Amino acid sequence: MVPLPRERTYSRDLPLKKGEKVRVAGHLQDYRALGSLSFAVIRDRHGLFQVTLKKGVTPDPLFELLGKTSRESVVAFEGQVAENPKAKIGAEVLAETGEVLSAAEAPLPLGVIDKVGAELDTRLNHRFLDLRKRANQEVFELRAALAEGLRASFRELGFLEVETPKILKQGAEGGATLFSLDYFGGRAYLAQSPQLYKQMLMATDIERVYEIAPAFRAEPSDTLRHLTEFTSVDAEMAYLDGPETLWTTIEELLCRTLEHTRKTLTASQHPLAGSLPQPKRPFPRVTFGKAMEMLGKPSSEADFGTEDEKTLGDLVAKEHGAEMYFITEFPTSLKRSTFYAMHQDDHPEKTNYFDLDFRGQEIISGGQREHRIDRLTSQIREAGLDPANFTGYLEPFRYGMPPHGGFALGLDRLTAKLAQLPNVREARLFPRDRFRLEP
């Protein structure tokens, strides 16, 4: 019996241990029984390696055991590392002892080494098997490096990381996409966004906050870019002199984050390191009106959809050579212009709200907020809402609220776009959508 591999050697270290006795373990990817010499291909977190079973070195029962062990079982071996120029890593382990730590049932519900891609639904149903594929792990290494890069960049820019409640009495982004839950016999809602809290924090002297946390939206639409649970990267800053400062902050944040991420990934020779963009600053600023004009949409049409966003992405790329660009001055009349958006003083039909699109998809939206309580209260009324239901939100505005604004970035969408994944679900380990609540 090989004891559980306490001092386990990983595939990447085997070439350095030639002649030494090691313990190795992993999933059995393949086994070829060729008589007196048999080969097991094992996969661990760093890649593939070969364990060779050789008559005279390996006891007979181990040949028999391996012969009846199904693919993807977890196996462990002990033996000497030998040079093998034919093996990809130039070394192999000559098995002296070995055991099956956990047998896999056959057949597998999802192939791990199949070249032909399975349907996304099948992959997600058996995500633990799907994640044995290196290319899929790489997405989550990118995602983790992005989150790290975002945290480092926010800190450099003077933002404090905060955590706000996810169980709320009131929604922030409109009633239609609220998930409600039973709260000790009363009704509560899952947070669609930390919006109201990050604004509330602007009434303190903290001035700059950010949060990376789940947001919940009862999105009935089944699209390639909507989830019911996503990770929202929210930021808010006080003493804002106008939306331009938000745009330059976002440019700074994204460029720094991509640089941090590139460094992290380069250090681990990650295949996606070389594909990260290096956007030129300033990012183009396209007004909403200009965007509609570029799309050839009549001014009577209020908004643009997914296909328009893609077309606009192509047009901006052609005209400005840029993949990231702001769409500014969202009209007040737009359904998605919220009650807390600041309207422009000289053009009240326009707001200081904007989106940032990347490769033809919205990944950030934000704007300058209305901080003057009288205007805010009328905007709540104009949105058909009752200010009496917003007493808690409004209170900080009554006791000295600096001008402020902020934005939210969808981490799932950013990851998907950077990894060139067609569906945002692939950028989440265990996505939630209208039809998927498990695994």
Q: Which residues bind ligand AMO (CB under 6 A)?
A: 173, 193, 195, 217, 219, 226-227, 230, 232, 362-367, 406-408, 410, 412-413, 424
Q: Which two tokens stand for residue 424?
A: 């945002």
| β-sheet bridge partners, residue 74 | 27, 102
| 97/177 with CB nearer ligand AMO | 177
One-letter amino acid at 55 equals K
Burial 142-172 (b: 16+ CB within 10 A, else e): bbebbbebbbbbbeeeebeebebeeebeebb
Interacting residues of 131 by C-beta distance below 8 A, sequence separation 6+ = 137, 140, 429
How many helices, marked H, and strands, marked E, lie in the chain? 11, 16
| 103/120 with CB nearer ligand AMO | 120
Rounded-to-integer distance, Cα 189 and Cα 70, Å: 47
| 38/164 with CB nearer ligand AMO | 164
Distances, alpha carbon 112 to alpha carbons 101, 108, 271, 350, 424, in Å? 19, 8, 20, 52, 22
At 112, is the secondary structure helix, strand, or coil? Answer: coil
Ramachandran angles phi, psi of 97, nearest 5°: -140, 165
Distances, alpha carbon 362 to alpha carbons 172, 190, 291, 310, in Å? 19, 23, 13, 10
Interacting residues of 122 by C-beta distance below 8 A, sequence separation 6+ = 109, 110
Distance in Å, CB of 425 to ligand AMO, minimum? 10
Distance in Å, CB of 340 to ligand AMO, minimum? 8
| 153/232 with CB nearer ligand AMO | 232
Residues acting as catalytic residues: 217, 219, 225-226, 362, 365, 413
| 265/342 with CB nearer ligand AMO | 342
Rounded-to-integer distance, Cα 3 and Cα 76, Å: 9
| 226/371 with CB nearer ligand AMO | 226
Q: For residues 82 and 46, is the Cβ–Cβ distance under 8 A?
A: no
Q: For residues 327 and 367, is the Cβ–Cβ distance under 8 A?
A: no
| 96/207 with CB nearer ligand AMO | 207
Distance in Å, CB of 17 to ligand AMO, minimum? 46
At 17, is the secondary structure helix, strand, or coil? Answer: helix
Distance in Å, CB of 112 to ligand AMO, minimum? 28
For residue 30, what is the enclosing H or E element?
A: strand 21-33
Distance in Å, CB of 400 to ligand AMO, minimum? 21
Which residue number has the CB closest to ligand AMO?
410
Distance in Å, CB of 357 to ligand AMO, minimum? 9
Distance in Å, CB of 16 to ligand AMO, minimum? 44
Distance in Å, CB of 212 to ligand AMO, minimum? 12
Between helix 134-156 and helix 411-418 the angle, nearest 10°, is 120
Q: What are the start-end ranges of the E strands in 34-152?
A: 37-44, 47-54, 74-83, 91-102
Give which of 287, 302, 291, 379 is closest to 333, Cα–Cα.
Answer: 302
| 31/210 with CB nearer ligand AMO | 210
